[in-house]
A and B are shown apart, each in its own frame.
Chain A
Amino acid sequence: MSERITKNMARNIYFGGGLFAILVFTGLTFDTVKQIPKLSHDDKITASVALGKKVWENNNCVGCHTIMGEGAYYAPELGNAFQRLGGGDEEVFKTYLAGWMAAQPMDIANRRKMPQFHLTPEQVTNLADFLIWTSRVNNQEWPPNIKG
C-alpha cells in the first residue's frame, strides 16, 4: 500500500490531520471546561473542601489510593469512601475518619500498612469534607458497586 503514497502525500496527511485533530481537541477542551463546574458542583467547594484537597496532596495520598479510579492500586478507592465507610452520613463519616487516621499504622503482621500522618483534627475534618465533595461529583455512576 505504501508504494502508492508519496512522501508529499504523507506530509499533507500529517499537517492536515494534525491540524484537524488539534482544532477538534481544543474545541472540546473549551466545552469541557465550561461544563465541569456544573458536573462537579463547583459552588459547593467550601474553604474546608479546598483545604482538604491540600491535605490530600501534601501527604501524597494518591501514592497508594485511587480517587475516581486514578492513582496507585495498593489501597482502596476513596472517591466513594463517604458512602462505603460513612454510609452517606457526614457526621458518621467524620467520626470514622478521625478514628481511622489515629489508628494508623495498624499492628497486623504483613497487612499493607498505612503510615501515621499526624494530621490535626481540623485537617481530618478538611479531608473528610474534600472526600464528601468528591463523592458527589457526577462521574457517570462510576464505580460499578460500593466496593470501589
Chain B
Amino acid sequence: MKYSSQMVAKPYFIFALILLAGEIVFGLAMGAQYLYGDFLFPAIPFNVLRMVHTNLLIVLLLFGFMGATYYLIPEESERELWSPMLAKLTFWIFAAAGVATILGYLFVPYATLSASLANSFWPTMGREFLEQPTITKVGIVLVVLSYIFNTTMTVIKGRKTTISVILLTGLFGLAFFFLFAFYVPQNLAMDKFFWWFVVHLWVEGTWELILGALLAFVLIKTTGVDREHIDKWLYLIIAMTLISGLAGTGHHFFYIGTPGYWLWIGSIASAAEPIPFFLMILFAFNMSKNRRIQHDNKIALTWAKGTAVVGFLGAGVWGFFHTLAPVNYYTHGTQLTAAHGHLSFFGAYVMICFTLISYAMPILRGRPHGNGPKSQKVELASFWMMVLGMIGLTLALTVAGIMQIEMQRLPDAAHALGFMETQAAISKVYMVRLAFGVMVLLGLLTYFYSFFVKEEKAYA
C-alpha cells in the first residue's frame, strides 16, 4: 500500500461482502417461496423479500464502488485521499442508514412506511428497485455527493489519469441519473419512461464507465502493461458503451405506452450493446497475454478475466436473446428477464467488486504480493462455485422462461395456460434454480473462509 489513506477502503469492502451474503440468503428465501407459498408467510411476504434482495444488491455495489474508488484514487492521483475522515464518516452514515432501511422493510408494513411524513411530503416509494423511503433516497444523495466530492478533490489536487477521469465521469453520471428517482409523475407511462433513466442509464450506461475504469486499474497492476495501451482500450470500450447504451435504453420502451419508433431504435441500438462487453473480454485476455510482470496475486487476474467473460455472457449474450422487439413481445416480463438480470448483475458488477477486493484486500492486510498459494487455491474454488452456481441458476431461469412463453404466451387465448397454472407446471425447474442458489451461497462461504486460511510458513 503506497498511501495510508487507502486503508479507508477496507470497511467498505468488508461491509459489501456482508451485504452480499444477506442478498444471497434473501434470494434463497425467495427461491423457496416460489415453491412453497407458505414459507415465511405471512411473516415476510414475497414483495418484502424481493425488496430486501434487490436493495441489498444496489447498496452492496455502491459500497463496493466506494471501497474500490478510495483504494484506487490515491494511487492514481499519487497523493493521499483529500479527506480520509470524510470517507470514514460517510461509511458509518451509509451503513447505519442502509441497515435502518432494511430493518424498516422487515419489521414495518410497507404501507406504514410509505404513510410516514417524509414520504407523503414527497412520495417516491413503491417503484421497483427504488422502494426506499424518500428520506433514505435523500440520504443516498448526500452520501454519494460527499463521496464524489472527496474523489474529485483528490483527483484535482493530484495526477490526472485516464482511469481516474473516466471513473469520475461515471460517478457524476451515477449521481445525475439517480435524481430521476425523485420524479414520480401520476401518468404511469411517463413514470415508467423516466424510471428507466435511473435503472438502465445506471447499469447499461454510467456504471459501465465505472466498471471499465476499475477493470483497467487492476489490469495495469497485475499485468504491468503500459498505460497508453490500457487507456486506448478503455476509451474504445466506453465509447461503445455510450453509443449503444444510450439509445439502447429504447429496448425498455417497446410495450409501456411509448411511441412506436422505439421498437426500431431500441432494437437496433441495443443489438450493439454486447460490443463493449465483448471488447472487455479482448481487453482482459490481451493484456494478460502481453503482461510484463508475473504478479503473485494470480487470483485477482482470474477475477478480472472472469468479470469480462461472465459480464459478456450475462449482459451481452443473455441481453441479446430478448432485446429485439419481435422477440421481446413474447419474452417481456417472463423468467427470461430474471435470468438476464441475475447473470448480468453478477458477472459485470458483483464480480468487478470481487476483482478489486481480491486485488486490494491482501495489500490492505499487509500482504503486498497477494495471499499465499493455499489461500488462493481456496479462493479459486470459491470463484468456480459462485460462477458455475450463477450460470446454473441462470440456465434454470432461462428454461423456466422458455416454458412460460410456450405455455402462456405463444398459444391463442383459448389454448394458453393462465399464469398460476404455468408456474405450477414449471415448479421442478425452480427446484433446480434453488439448488444452484445454494451452490452460490456455499461458494461465498468458501470465499470468506479463504480470508482465514493459514499458510504453512510466513509468505513474504
Contact = CB atoms under 8 A, between A and B. Distances in A.
Interface string A1-23: 01001110011011001101110
Chain A interface: which size bin?
A: 35 or more
A57 B127 contact: yes
A147 B255 CA distance: 16
B259 interface: yes
A7 B33 CA distance: 52
Contacts of A64: 45-47, 50
Contact of B51 (A7, A53, A60): A60
B392 to A, nearest CB: 19
Given A10-B235, A39-B258, A63 B46 contact: yes
Contacts of B96: none
B37 A68 contact: no
B188 A137 contact: yes
A133 to B, nearest CB: 8
Interface in A22-63: 22, 24-25, 28, 31-33, 35-37, 39-40, 42, 45, 49-50, 53-54, 56-63
A36 B111 contact: no
Contacts of B456: none
Contacts of A21: 242-243, 245-247
B408 A58 contact: no
Contact of B419 (A17, A70, A76): A76
Contact of A69 (B127, B255, B335): B255
Nearest to B257: A137
A57 B123 contact: yes
A57 B233 contact: no
B259 A110 contact: no
A39 B34 contact: no
Given A59-B111, A144-B329, A68 B256 contact: yes
Contact of B193 (A36, A53, A146): A36
B243 A72 contact: no
A59 to B, nearest CB: 5
Interface string B221-238: 000000010011101101
A67 B42 CA distance: 24
A7 B228 contact: yes
Interface in A94-148: 105, 109-113, 115, 117, 130, 133-134, 137-140, 142-148
Interface of B: 33-38, 41-42, 45-48, 50-51, 110-111, 114-115, 123, 125-128, 131, 184, 186-193, 228, 231-233, 235-236, 238-240, 242-243, 245-247, 249-250, 253-263, 265, 282, 286, 329-330, 332-335, 337-338, 408-413, 416-420, 423
14 contacts: A6-B232, A17-B242, A35-B259, A37-B190, A45-B187, A56-B126, A57-B125, A63-B51, A105-B41, A111-B420, A113-B45, A115-B41, A147-B419, A148-B408
Contact of A40 (B37, B190, B245, B250): B190
Nearest to A42: B187
Interface of A: 2, 5-7, 10-11, 13-14, 17-18, 20-22, 24-25, 28, 31-33, 35-37, 39-40, 42, 45, 49-50, 53-54, 56-64, 66-77, 105, 109-113, 115, 117, 130, 133-134, 137-140, 142-148
Given A112-B33, A144-B410, A63 B258 contact: no
A56 B192 CA distance: 14
B335 A73 contact: yes
B390 to A, nearest CB: 18
A7 B257 contact: no
A91 to B, nearest CB: 23
B50 A63 contact: yes
Please give me the 3 A-B residue pairs with the lowest Cβ-Cβ distance, nearest first: A63-B47, A57-B126, A69-B333
A31 B259 contact: yes
Given A68-B255, A69-B333, A145 B38 contact: no
Contacts of B333: 66, 69-71, 73, 77, 143
A139 B45 contact: no
Contacts of B193: 32-33, 36
Given A2-B282, A22-B242, A142-B332, 11 more contacts: A10-B235, A24-B246, A36-B257, A53-B188, A56-B126, A60-B110, A63-B50, A70-B128, A130-B188, A145-B416, A147-B413
A43 B301 CA distance: 57
A97 B329 CA distance: 28
Instruction: Report which residue of B235, B260, B330 has the largest number of chain A beta carbons within 10 angstroms of its beta carbon.
Output: B235
